[in-house]
Structure 1
Amino acid sequence: MYLLIPGRHQLLTKFQFKYLQDIISKGLQSFTDVFGKPVEKNEKIDAVLFAVTSSNHSNTRRNPLPFYLRAISIEAFGNDLGIPTYIYGIDDVGNLPNFADYTIKRIKHESEGQIDCTPENTVVVCSTNVLNMYHHLGFTILPAELDNIETWHHHMAMPWDVVEKISTSENWQQEPFVQEYMHPASFNVWQKYRIAEKVQLLFRDAMISNDGDLTETRDYNVYVRQMDDIAEMKYQDTANFIQPGRIGDIGCAVGSWIKLACKDERFRESDFYGIEVSRYLYELCQQRKINGEFNNPFVFFSKKNAVTGLAFDRSSMNTIHTSSLTHEIESYGSRQDLLQFIRNRFEELVHGGVWINRDVVAPYNKHQEVYLWLNDEDGSNADPHRILESKSSLSEYLQQLSTYARFLRFAKDFRKQEGYKLSYAETIFEQKRYIRLSLGDAAEFLSRKDYTDNWQSEMHETFCFWDFDEWKNEMQNAGFKIHPSSVAFTNDWIVENRWVGKTALFTVKNNQLVPEPWPVTTMFLIGVKP
């Protein structure tokens, strides 16, 4: 007879140990199930099975510990139970209604058929609503901390309660609540591997979701394709300024920039460090490394957020590269987060080291009023505000709209959740319709109007908060010197392929429309640590 304990098992408690110990010593017949009925099983317990769910996740609020550290804790915990303990990692497969069935099959597969859990040979110990899935399969459920399945009231602190207490405790090792409930097996691992510091950092991070992503609306298949498509161009822009040694790419996406740098003979003796906050993209980086896609074996990826803390040791990096990242910090975090990010990069560089930052940038004179002409004959003008839940349906619909109608949709959606209201007015000048608005808001639309595949995600992001001079000032305030090759420019490909014939910019002088040059789209900013 087996005891199966499914859960993320970030932490084990003294109650869990005593509960399992009592089952083993007293027998199942001494207990009632989750519905208050006596357990009608007399067989002795032969082994305890820990199904460690989300085993492929780590470094997020929901799953701060990697699987191997959870397994170390469980192994030490199980050694004192007096019977064999087996540990099986169950990977995350999303919101699967038959996840219990999947877990049972994974255990059978991982044990090479040695352990085949059935309602006849296994009792499940579970105190969360996951138990319903096992009950549906016919398993007997022992309630552990749960004392009322109607109200889901627990008579004892849950493991996650202890994790949350640690996340807010200045001296977690001396915290009475932690000492009362945390099992020594977990305590030792948390202390040895300094897990509490990581947990506290993760819980403080307001930018990142519980599962470790900036946004839940991004289509990563589209995003990855876009990153790979422009990787060569981005690398060539930066290659001349990379210093050999320790080279880091923060927000490395799928490692495309690092992959190209590894092919550069100048950096054959360098070490590369990719930092990615998105769990999905980080896992793709790891897979690419396993596939042997990086010429240099000294390539290391880490899943961490470089905003709230240092990504690298102080004064350790020769080159730091970021691309299309800093605007996301402003968009999903705050101005203070962005300023901290800049200071962190300065701290990480050796003297003479460089931070190469390629990103979008606001136009000069972004508050200037302009007249924006928008083509209203290159698509449909019908109902631009139609609500469509499906990403693919929304994308298809937006692509059918005229440039004018798409602007109307943009003006309504742009940073709505962040409380921003895009101010504009329609006006007729010389029998043509124009949109009167700030140059900054016009540039926000021009930069985003064709991002229909990821529209919902893009509507959270702002590109035009600092112009190039403001960027340089903030970098200098943090201690950087600005490399003379730094520049802001207008991407000619964007102009020719997305703007010409679709839109035009004007100002009014002496009651006449005067054409305005296209706004800058991109900056290439190199900060040097003196």
Structure 2
Amino acid sequence: MFLLIPGRHHLLSDFQFKYLHRLLQNQLEGEQDVQGQTMPASAITAVIFAVTSANHLGTKRNPVPFYLRAMIIQEFSSYLDIPVFVYGIDDVGEISDFAGYTLKSIRHSSEGLHQLTPENTVVICSTAVKDMYTSLGYKVLPAELDITTGQLEHPLPWDIVRLIAQSPDWQKDRTVLDLIHPASFKIWKQYKIGEKVQHILKDPIIGADGDLTTTRDYNAYVKQMDEIAALKYQETAPYIQPGNIGDIGCAAGSWIKMGCEDERLHECDFYGIEVSRHLFEICYQRKHNGDFANPSVFFSQKNAVTSLVFDPGSMNTIHTSSLTHEIASYGSEQDLRDFIANRYQELAPGGVWINRDVVGPENKNEIVLLWLDHTDGENKQWAAGITDNQELAAALEKLSTRAKFIRFAQDFRHQEGYKLAYEWVTIGGQTYCRLRMQDACEFLFTKDYTDNWLSEMHETFCFWSFADWKHELECAGFRVDKLSKPYRNEWIVENRLEGKTKLFREQEDGLQEIPFPVSHMLLLARK
């Protein structure tokens, strides 16, 4: 008889060891399953740990990588006088037959050695997953669960993980030491897992699965990033200093791929940092596919806001593109200041941080008039209530520019509590929207990102002007290179703004049309 223990297994508890030890010594005799049935004696031949979410690491839900979880189980197994097997089970999202998927994965990974059936396997599980196995005919032992009350009698391993995350000195915390098995403690201490878990679980910006936002369509996002990768690299390449080169927020690794093909940089080491699990996995796969000409390319899933991601003083060039506005959007302006300070520490003396991103106008608080075309599409607000990205994009594309603004004003940073203030005014028979210049620019430079509208509505582009940026960088110790500049994306002006919208300033003698302001910047911050 096999004992199957499915779970994420970030650590193993002292209770789990004692429970397993009892089962092995008594050969299951007299144990009650979750349905209250008494088990007969059965010879146990092996214990099998199914480590779920094995392809996840560095996230709040799965902070510990699979290889360390496997090491913990292996160390734990040395205390048991029976063969122990470990199989990684990749995360596949929410599926009703996850138990069946787990069993198939074990059969495949073991090359048929372990074909687990209700006749040869007893499952140990105290969470709701147990119902999936009982529905397949498996006997399930309750472990931490009291089957008479339906309540947990003992803390789950994840409860201990959360205790560690909140403990100021987890290695001396008496409650933790009473609950954790020595094998787990050994590996957690040796590899400093406790400190890493504390850092990840306390992160205020990143979600449970390691993403800034849960509304982003990553297929559309990656396509957009790849389409403009050449432009990004051409604009930043002249300023790259050879040596250690880091790309923070590297998305699908496209900028690094082009750097690897640059003859000047063929002896450099490239380091890609990506916080999003989805994008990190794409980078990792591209590396295995041989997409990078330089073998010295390394990717890590880390958050560059809350900590350093490179050794202090180690980097010659750090590159970021379309990233810093996301930090302010999903975190705060203070988080962005922390990000700036971290980059300063990581650069070697004379090193450069190349930051390409959107930027706000200098006159962001000026009240202006915004003319919006109402004849270039439909004026019904039937796009309201749609949550599917593709369906919403199709609906938004049918709206007139004015109707799209109305939808934008409703959605823009609504979940963050922002209320976009505006009013409609009629002057000389023409209707205008009166609002702050910053809000006008937020609409002008966001309105066409309909493929990811729900995600984009969380993001602010125009919170700092170029002068604000220069001030913040200098406060952090940087020298802003004279080649740094704000600029207007003329393609956006010609293809997305002209004919659809205009900006005006109210004056005593009438309205003065205002040129569309800067939209982007190239910042070269030197240490």
Query: In the alignment, which residue of structure 2 is the partner of 1:143?
Result: 142
Query: In the alignment, which residue of structure 2 is the partner of 1:494?
Result: 492
- TM (normalized to structure 2)? 0.99
Query: In the alignment, which residue of structure 2 is the partner of 1:20?
Result: 20
CA distance in 2, matches of 1:345, 1:172: 30
CA distance in 2, matches of 1:8, 1:275: 25
Query: In the alignment, which residue of structure 2 is the partner of 1:94?
Result: 93
**1:481-500 per-position Cα deviation (integer Å, ceiling 9, x unaligned):** 00111000000000011001
Q: 2:377–2:398: 8 Å Cα contact kept in structure 1? A: yes
Query: In the alignment, which residue of structure 2 is the partner of 1:319?
Result: 317
Mean CA deviation greater in 13-22 or 216-225: 13-22
Q: Note if 1:436 corresponds to 2:428.
A: no
Aligned ranges for residues 44-443 of structure 1 at < 5 Å? Answer: 44-148=43-147, 151=150, 153-383=151-381, 386-443=384-441
**1:303-345 per-position Cα deviation (integer Å, ceiling 9, x unaligned):** 0000000011111100000001110010000121111000000
Amino acid at match of 2:187: V
Q: 2:381–2:407: 8 Å Cα contact kept in structure 1? A: no
CA distance in 2, matches of 1:37, 1:30: 9
**1:12-42 per-position Cα deviation (integer Å, ceiling 9, x unaligned):** 0111011111111102122001122212x43
**1:280-325 per-position Cα deviation (integer Å, ceiling 9, x unaligned):** 1000000000011111100000000000000111111000000011
3-state SS of paired residue (2:29) = helix
Q: 1:368–1:439: 8 Å Cα contact kept in structure 2? A: yes
Query: In the alignment, which residue of structure 2 is the partner of 1:8?
Result: 8
3-state SS of paired residue (1:160) = helix
Q: Note if 1:34 corresponds to 2:34.
A: yes
CA distance in 2, matches of 1:272, 1:255: 10
Q: What's the Cα RMSD here?
A: 0.9
Query: In the alignment, which residue of structure 1 is the partner of 2:476?
Result: 478
Amino acid at match of 1:289: K
3-state SS of paired residue (1:208) = coil
Query: In the alignment, which residue of structure 1 is the partner of 2:511?
Result: 513
Q: Aligned-pair distance for 1:205? A: 0.6
Amino acid at match of 1:68: Y
3-state SS of paired residue (1:28) = coil
CA distance in 1, matches of 2:489, 2:226: 18
Deviating above 4 A after TM superposition, structure 1's stretches of 4 or more consecutive aligned residues are none
- TM (normalized to structure 1)? 0.98
**1:487-518 per-position Cα deviation (integer Å, ceiling 9, x unaligned):** 00000000011001111111111241111011
CA distance in 1, matches of 2:229, 2:387: 31
Q: 1:360–1:523: 8 Å Cα contact kept in structure 2? A: yes
Tell me the matched-pair count: 527
Q: 1:384–1:406: 8 Å Cα contact kept in structure 2? A: no
Q: Aligned-pair distance for 1:383? A: 2.1
Q: Aligned-pair distance for 1:185? A: 1.1
CA change 1:230–1:149 in 2 (3 A) is farther
3-state SS of paired residue (2:369) = strand
Q: Aligned-pair distance for 1:150? A: 6.0
CA distance in 2, matches of 1:160, 1:204: 15
CA distance in 2, matches of 1:461, 1:233: 22
CA distance in 1, matches of 2:195, 2:382: 48
CA distance in 1, matches of 2:459, 2:185: 41
**1:232-261 per-position Cα deviation (integer Å, ceiling 9, x unaligned):** 000011001100010000000010000000
3-state SS of paired residue (1:448) = coil
Q: 1:34–1:149: 8 Å Cα contact kept in structure 2? A: no
